[in-house]
A = this chain, B = another copy of it.
Amino acid sequence: MIKDILITSLDQIDTPGGSVLHAMKESSEGYTGFGEAYFSQINQGAIKAWKRHKKMTLNLVVPVGKIRFVLFDDRDNERDFQEVIISKDNYCRLTIPPMVWMGFQGLSSGASTLLNIADIEHDPLEVDKRSVEQIEFNWSEQ
């Protein structure tokens, strides 16, 4: 387990006409303030990797589909990977602190959707990027 990564189980509530899915409360563990909320959609098999935020804490929830998140920690001379697959079958919130590399892959047919509740607004100057090849990981193996 990578230091300061949180995985928090969330409730799904069945109601007539469709479910209610919890995402985040002001009082939730991992909440560090509200800066911006946005969605990212990912097609089956597609990979978006790699990004590292210097200031932003990410809080990720997957209300639709199934997404594999891969985290890579190279702080403090470590080289640790951690993988989490989130869907309705494992419905949880993934909290990623600054300075951890992150990539993700769509695993369900059609597009999967993640919500990021971030504690600062989008700022390209605080994002480091590497191409998918620049951090070696076997995305085809599951």
The answer to whether A36 and B41 touch (CB under 8 A), given A17-B47, A106-B17, is no
- Closest CB of chain B to A47's CB: distance in Å? 7
The answer to whether A16 and B46 touch (CB under 8 A), given A25-B121, A36-B24, is yes
Bound-state Cα–Cα, A41 to B113, Å: 13
Bound-state Cα–Cα, A15 to B19, Å: 29
Bound-state Cα–Cα, A22 to B37, Å: 7
- Closest CB of chain B to A111's CB: distance in Å? 6
List of B residues within 8 angstroms of A33 by Cβ: 34
B63 touches A39 (CB 8 A): yes
A115 touches B38 (CB 8 A): no
Given A16-B46, A18-B41, A26-B36, 15 further pairs, Cβ under 8 A: A17-B46, A17-B47, A17-B48, A18-B48, A18-B111, A20-B40, A21-B41, A23-B38, A23-B39, A25-B35, A25-B36, A26-B34, A26-B35, A27-B121, A63-B115
Nearest 5 pairs of A and B residues by beta carbon: A17-B46, A34-B34, A18-B41, A21-B39, A23-B37
25 A-B contact pairs sorted by A residue (CB < 8 Å) = A15-B48, A16-B48, A17-B42, A17-B43, A17-B46, A17-B106, A18-B40, A18-B43, A18-B111, A19-B40, A19-B41, A21-B40, A22-B38, A23-B36, A23-B37, A23-B38, A23-B39, A23-B115, A24-B36, A25-B122, A26-B34, A27-B121, A33-B34, A37-B117, A39-B115
